[in-house]
Amino acid sequence: MSYDIPAKSEVAEKIMTRIGVLTSGGDAPGMNAALRACVRCGTDAGFSMFGIARGYSGLISGDVTVLDNRAVGGIIERGGTLLRSARSKEFMTDAGQQKALARIEEHGLDGLIVIGGNGSLRGAKRLCEMGVRTMGIPASIDNDVPESTMAIGVDTALNTVVECLDRLRDTAIAHERAFVVEVMGRESGYIALMGGLAGGAEIILLPEMPESLEAVARSVQSGMSLGKSHSIIVVAEGFKPPDMAPTFASSARAICSHLDTLGNVESRLTILGHLQRGGSPTAFDRILASRFGEAAIQALTAGSTGRMLRYDGRDIAAVDYAALDTPCSNVDPDILRLADIVAH
């Protein structure tokens, strides 16, 4: 169930004064734009805004500083996060969560905005259960946050992938090779699917849809029989072919090795890795992030006791954290079918 975010004119009497913001988990281009909007919309609403460094690790250690409008100047165009981020093992423990709660109380924070992916938003849900007013903003290039059709950072990551695939296609054509390109996405194949479609990949391999190495080889050779002298094979890092020997460090390496045994296919491997997490956020991500920041402040101002936000392709609304209990896949098999048709 989603809840409309009340317009500013409808909000109840301000019941909060001090709001903290943290960024957590894998960083995503646009996190800074979200932080900037949280701080400036919060200041506009009359709040004192605080930045918490290094996600839940910094919350536990009390690394909290005041953020005024000037502190978030000149960051909308920057990737990464001014606050830095972390994956906190300590916060996964009850003791760590109690320490975080104690820090929140010590700093007199009336509300907390968490910008991050599923794990980070589950942390916000936990703090909400402990009595903290939290708002969760989806930010993960994997785009696997339930309810939201797009999270912050996804559009920028996709554009990075497409630029890389365009460059690789030049050399693949020149040398008539098969390029195996590993992209991020441990459980979610969204980057592989949408980046592959936009980049014209001949083959797209997703964690959600396992295929054997044999089947991949047959696809490459089928393309060759249609006159294709090269191929771009985009594989999500979480893709696992059932016939892969356990000795391989990654499926992408196993695919290359298998193609080389065919005798008529020369392959090369490129792992895009953390290139997909950096870079200046696109206009889409800057706008989405700014809207999420405003909505988080509006929801807290209106007295929300705690929810996460979602974008439905047009509007932003608040949804219960319970949505996190239902695994999400923004991977559409019809898109995979389209990508296959238009690549041959």
CA 277 – CA 300 distance, rounded (Å): 29
Residue 40 gets the label, from left (phi > 0), alpha (psi -120 to 50) or beta, of alpha
Told to judge if 142 belongs to the known catalytic residues of this protein, a careful annotator would answer: yes
d(CA 123, CA 199): 35
Give the residue, chosen from 42, 116, 135, 142, that forms a contact with ligand F6P under the rule CB under 6 A. 142
Does position 89 interact with ligand F6P (CB under 6 A)? The reply is no
Shortest Å, Cβ 101 to ligand F6P? 25
**Least separation in angstroms between CB 237 and ligand F6P:** 6
Residue 120 CB, shortest distance to ligand F6P, in Å, is 10
Q: Is 289 in the site for ligand F6P (CB under 6 A)?
A: no
Closer to ligand F6P by CB, 26 or 306: give it.
26
Q: Hey, what are 138's tokens?
A: 């989806």
What DSSP line would sit under 21-42, residue for residue? EEE-SS--TTHHHHHHHHHHHH
Distance CA 290, CA 177 (A): 42
CB of 193 to ligand F6P, least distance (A): 14
Q: Where does this chain touch ligand F6P (CB under 6 A) — which range of 64-72, 73-81, 179-187, 257-265? A: 179-187
64 binds ligand F6P (CB under 6 A): no
Q: In terms of residues, how long is the chain?
A: 344
Interface with ligand F6P includes 140 (CB under 6 A)? yes
In sequence order, what DSSP letters do the residues of 244-259 get, joined into one string?
--TT-S-HHHHHHHHH
The catalytic position among 44, 63, 142, 320 is: 142
Which residues bind to ligand F6P, rule: CB under 6 A? 26, 117, 140-142, 184-186, 237, 277
